[in-house]
Amino acid sequence: MRKLLSLLTQLATRWLGTELTLAREITLIASGFSIAALAATYPLIMHLGSVLPNDLGDPVLNAWILAWDADRLLHGLSGLWAAPMYFPYEATLAYSENLLGIAIFTAPLQWLTGNPVLVYNVAFLASFVLAGTGMYLLATSITGSRAAGLLAGIAFAFLPYRADKIPHLQVLMYGWMPVALWGFHRYFATGHRLALTVFAVAFLLQGLSNGYFFYFFSVAVIVIGVVELLTRVWTRPRMIVELAATAFLMLVSLIPVAIPYLNVGANQALTRSRSENIMFSADALAYFHASPNLVLWRDILP
């Protein structure tokens, strides 16, 4: 064990001081987080095609939605919203998350294997890798330190909150947020339009993985964007045009997704009462609560 730890320390030290291309750096970091995700979720790796993590509630629903999305992608998304559930109601996929931001990556595996359980578990594990790698990129870009980026990635990918949301794949798939902020940061730092494209694509993928994040994440993006724009617009006035054009294209691309949800909400009067909002909202004490799934904290922060 000591020899293994010594070897890992030597490799880490060498890596921290080595010049790497961005593609190779991302590959190495993603590989490391893949190994960490497999270890953290063991023994799931032994049953990837036959067992769903946590329970048979939301994981079953999300596995089915990913399979449905994959089927519709084969048909150019024709009939996507007319999911075969809740007959005779229409546009029933809009009763839940569409998960398109996940399905576009997992669909090929669904086509090859026809195993929705395997597909779900791969997406589940990938959520850890995406969160860790995304935060690594953001933190490294801001601090200039790979060590800081690695620590931030580990904290973000394996934070205690995830243990309480194990059955909710759409919540676990929050890793596009740091990727988007990384692109946003690089754009303001360098002015490169490719970085702005990375931001836009990651933002859309985040919202298409979890619709609620469109609202929550937009607040942070708007605040950061306004502050950065006010700081840099005098030296780079073209930013106004580029940001406005990007925002417009993003809004237009979301119209086909937004319309079914707006129609279902209006037709079915799907609104939350004030008491429900209060009941399901977080409060200050939530920061001092630990999930019973956590071995270390569950007895300390019940």
pLDDT value at position 113? 97
Contact between 66 and 96 (Cβ < 8 Å): no
pLDDT value at position 265? 87
Q: Binning pLDDT at 50, 70 and 90, where does residue 16 land?
A: low
pLDDT value at position 164? 84
Helix extents (H) in the chain? 2-16, 22-40, 58-73, 100-113, 116-143, 146-157, 161-164, 169-172, 176-190, 193-209, 212-232, 238-267, 274-280
| Section 207-231 average pLDDT | 94
- Residues 149-167 have pLDDT tens digits of 999 999 999 988 898 889 9
pLDDT value at position 59? 96
Task: Assess whether pLDDT exceeds 60 at residue 5.
Answer: no
- State the chain's mean pLDDT as an integer: 90
The Cα-based distances of 269 to 71, 129, 201, 211, 262 in angstroms read 30, 38, 32, 18, 10
Task: Assess whether pLDDT exceeds 90 at residue 146.
Answer: yes
pTM of the model: 0.90
Cα angle 18-24-29, degrees, rounded to a multiple of 5: 85
Task: Assess whether pLDDT exceeds 70 at residue 9.
Answer: no
- Residues 126-138 have pLDDT tens digits of 999 999 999 999 9
pLDDT value at position 280? 83
- Three-state DSSP state, 76: coil
